[in-house]
Structure 1
């Protein structure tokens, strides 16, 4: 029996913890909210819930009962300190961190003799292992990947898509706000195209996913490392992006232009939402907030974006419920109020890869399309929890079983993880459907 410590018992923790318990591992879950940890462990004889802060109380827990592996489900901001715990105690770890953000720790991880498996989950995670396998198969058939297009979205199911933003949160609002001002890089005609600080939302396209309808698609983070990671140096176009229902991108552009993603702290005592928005728009206190924002942004006062802002509560004459913070914190408050997926509502996960493939021997060009669609919620596990959490459990189990021999900082596309994880996900019902279209 192997021992596992899981740090964090948030929205995606349940499927990860259950996967580990079902495989006979002893699992201790640490979270600042004890009831949250207990909910995921239940009365399983191999499970234990502990209250504590991973970075403050985690070392004592590790020292009192050393585990064989750590699973970090902590927020992104705490991912690097969690990896430092693995280095300090010589214990392998599975975590969601983007590999590029942990490169400065790579030598320390290697010297400590541990395995740190990053980019595990849905996106990043399942996107990597599914794409890497397909590209390997294309090359084995003698094909060349001319272009690669990959998108993913965690959305409300159509039955729960009932607000003007077309979006509901199944993950932390803080992460959504942070992602709205992230840089993005794609490759077009073998040249890099850079979108700084949320500019990607100005360059969205409309794309149809067969059977699901039309979505906005915008570039997400840096696509360039995956040319090497997926082994497709011949690709002329590489795009990794995010799916949203129509109306989201213009809202993000407008709120970003207004300064609502700013982090500069200020006193918010006695400040109303409308008052803060007037201030950001440079309008006097007596100005109608709706007209002030329309004028500042150069938008029609009757347009959708202004109506979205009004619905969210940005024009409300009520006090902001925090005494200090930046505009980003205020926007996060409203997301918590208005955008959380309710327990009785269903969510939707959509992932699609498109590969334009050229076969030199036959001079054929085909478009391969792989699509993953998962629905959840309505009193059961959400689709995002299932597709994000289960890969953590599988990844940790593969390391504990000795099937992963690689040491250092690695991603899920290494052969010892890629195929076994994808096969196990398929056995659990998480699988892609594939189609192929002949191109002229």
Structure 2
């Protein structure tokens, strides 16, 4: 503020930032937030669709938005069909946040502990090859099972406080309540883990229990390897293993998928239209180096925001979000000119 320089960020405009609005105006600068993917392109696409409907005197009957950073099909080669392009602990904690949304005119609240259980299957009609799972406002039935086993508990675990470090296998047996006597040599394999998950009531469907068991084995949680001293909780243990086993190789592509659906009602003609827009972007390899789709779709909008300020296309001062035409119209044009395609459809 003292330097009187504009600021562009992909972060949310929170209350603390909003309170800087008057100071930014007095300093003659613009603080442009939410210029990434989500938030960012999602807001801009939404406002474009909504404002276009309003210009035609339409009424928004429903608005649904989906967004995720996931592996490309070729890279989804593990039981979770997921990999981390950022810190696993942050991603898992985000999946334990409470969510609130509106459906059929009613406000729905989902407790953070129930978020994984609220996942629903979803397919985009124009992209039928993608079998997706969606969570309200924030991954899956497998993750819900792992959570019930206790693998996301971040409290210090007594077994992990011992100077003599337990093995991953010992710790898994503890969580699954296996009697350790006689278990030292017994194979802890997929069948045994599956049966135990079902017996303990962690999962009602055997098919999901099998997937959870496969995930546990893939992460090496049954291995006779000592758990590092840095891991003092079950949460730290699984994050450690996920960092090792669920990361992208140098040649693997990630993928970003953003999809909006808007139902517009036109009172005059009593007709209803269904509008959708989809962004599908893959990581790109250039000169032997992979740039992730997440980096592209977060970084490009931020750069566009800076460009629009540099050429004085954004004249409004204060704290801004990209939900005004002054920002989202030129920004979306440049996003597409850069090669990030937005597939629009109206029925």
Q: One fold, TM greater than 0.5?
A: yes
Does residue 313 in structure 1 map to residue 220 in structure 2? Answer: yes
Which of residues 136, 140, 143 in structure 2 aligns to 1:249?
140
Q: Which residue does the alignment assign to 2:154? A: 263
Describe the shift of the 1:310–1:134 C-alpha distance in structure 2 as closer, same or farther (beyond 3 A): same
Q: Which residue does the alignment assign to 2:267? A: 360
Counterpart-to-counterpart distance in 1, 2:258 and 2:88: 21
Counterpart-to-counterpart distance in 1, 2:211 and 2:301: 38
Aligned-pair CA distance for 1:194: 0.7
Aligned-pair CA distance for 1:396: 2.1
Describe the shift of the 1:91–1:328 C-alpha distance in structure 2 as closer, same or farther (beyond 3 A): farther
Describe the shift of the 1:377–1:139 C-alpha distance in structure 2 as closer, same or farther (beyond 3 A): same
Describe the shift of the 1:401–1:321 C-alpha distance in structure 2 as closer, same or farther (beyond 3 A): farther
Aligned-pair CA distance for 1:275: 3.1
Counterpart-to-counterpart distance in 1, 2:34 and 2:167: 40
Q: Which residue does the alignment assign to 1:404? A: 314
Q: Which residue does the alignment assign to 1:180? A: 95
Q: Which residue does the alignment assign to 2:43? A: 128
Does residue 296 in structure 1 map to residue 200 in structure 2? Answer: yes
Q: Which residue does the alignment assign to 2:170? A: 275
Counterpart-to-counterpart distance in 1, 2:314 and 2:177: 57
Describe the shift of the 1:88–1:175 C-alpha distance in structure 2 as closer, same or farther (beyond 3 A): farther
CA contact (8 A) 2:145 2:202 kept: no
Indicate the structure whose relative CO is greater, using CA pairs within 8 Å and at least 6 residues apart: 2
Deviates more, 1:277-286 or 1:180-189: 277-286
Deviates more, 1:146-155 or 1:375-384: 375-384
Q: Which residue does the alignment assign to 2:130? A: 213
Counterpart-to-counterpart distance in 2, 1:436 and 1:323: 53
Q: Which residue does the alignment assign to 2:111? A: 196
Q: TM-score, normalised by structure 1?
A: 0.67
CA contact (8 A) 1:180 1:252 kept: no
Does residue 117 in structure 1 map to residue 32 in structure 2? Answer: yes
**CA offset digits 1:33-58 (Å, max 9, x no partner):** xxxxxxxxxxxxxxxxxxxxxxxxxx
Q: TM-score, normalised by structure 2?
A: 0.83
CA contact (8 A) 1:177 1:328 kept: no
Q: Which runs of 5+ in 2 are unaligned?
A: none
**CA offset digits 1:246-271 (Å, max 9, x no partner):** xx511111122233223334555513
Give the secondary structure class of the aligned counterpart of 1:403.
coil
Cα RMSD (Å): 2.5
Aligned-pair CA distance for 1:399: 2.7
Aligned-pair CA distance for 1:431: 2.2
Give the secondary structure class of the aligned counterpart of 2:131.
strand
Q: Which residue does the alignment assign to 1:350? A: 257
Give the secondary structure class of the aligned counterpart of 1:124.
coil
Aligned length: 323
**CA offset digits 1:34-87 (Å, max 9, x no partner):** xxxxxxxxxxxxxxxxxxxxxxxxxxxxxxxxxxxxxxxxxxxxxxxxxxxxx5
Aligned-pair CA distance for 1:408: 3.9
Describe the shift of the 1:172–1:257 C-alpha distance in structure 2 as closer, same or farther (beyond 3 A): same
